[in-house]
Amino acid sequence: MITLKGDTVFLRALEPEDLDFIHEVENDESIWEISATQTPYSKFLIKQYLENAHKDIFEVKQLRLVVSNYEEVVLGMIDLFDFDFKNKKAGVGILIKEPDDRLKGYGREALKLLVDYSFMHLDLHQLYCNISEENEASIKLFTKQGFKKIGLKKDWNYVNGSFKNEYLFQLINN
């Protein structure tokens, strides 16, 4: 049975009520490095995005879900991107917004739910993620879920005046 519900969090589709949360996340310069964002997003653009969020992953090649606790507090978002049905693969990105909510297992549980969904429901063969060499928390999170470090991309991202390396991690469904 496929479920997007865990013990402490569940994953749900984006709703119009998420506009302010997404606007805040997309315009938080402190996390632009992990999202490859370079410019702010207007509420108008995010509202348009939400109006199309109902479209199928097979059509838009992306699935963004909200990570919420059972008190219905939005904790963050988790994405499948670059969805490639022919080659049965997709990229994964996750963000738990508030630092006080990190390192409490929410990200671990959300990632496990998404991995299980990807392999069982979407019939994917592999997932991958890109993580800055300095992002020890994400490296630990993905490694504990079984992702393997398969490469280092030297000087991959230009951040605050210097180049940073990025790891490529992969999880293959055997």
Q: How far apart are CA 118 and CA 113, in angstroms?
A: 9
Assess if residue 161 is contained within a domain: no
How many domains is the chain partitioned into structurally? Answer: 1
Least confident of 47-56, 75-84, 145-154: 47-56
Assess if residue 171 is contained within a domain: no
Domain that holds residue 96: 9-125
Identify the pLDDT of residue 41.
Answer: 77
1, pLDDT greater than 50: no
Q: How far apart are CA 162 and CA 41, in angstroms?
A: 24
What single DSSP character describes residue 1?
-
Centre a 10 Å sphere on the Cβ of residue 69 and count the other Cβ atoms it contains: 15
What single DSSP character describes residue 5?
B
Q: Where are the alpha helices (DSSP H) in 4-62?
A: 19-26, 32-35, 43-51, 57-60
Least confident of 28-42, 48-62, 87-101: 28-42
Assess if residue 148 is contained within a domain: no
Instruction: For residue range 136-165, list pLDDT tens digits in order.
Output: 999 999 999 999 999 999 999 888 889 999
Question: Cα-atom radius of gyration of the chain, to the nearest Å?
Answer: 16
Instruction: For residue range 83-120, list pLDDT tens digits in order.
Output: 999 999 999 999 999 999 999 999 999 999 999 999 99
Assess if residue 158 is contained within a domain: no
Q: How far apart are CA 51 and CA 46, in angstroms?
A: 9
Element (H, E) at 146: none
Assess if residue 168 is contained within a domain: no
Assess if residue 92 is contained within a domain: yes
Assess if residue 142 is contained within a domain: no
What single DSSP character describes residue 70?
T
Assess if residue 31 is contained within a domain: yes
Reported pTM:
0.90
Pairing of the two strands 162-172 and 126-132: antiparallel
Check which CATH number belongs to the domain holding 76 and give it. Answer: 3.40.630.30
Strands ordered across the beta sheet of 63-69: 9-13, 63-69, 74-84, 89-96, 126-132, 162-172, 148-159
**Among 137, 135, 131, CA closest to 156:** 131
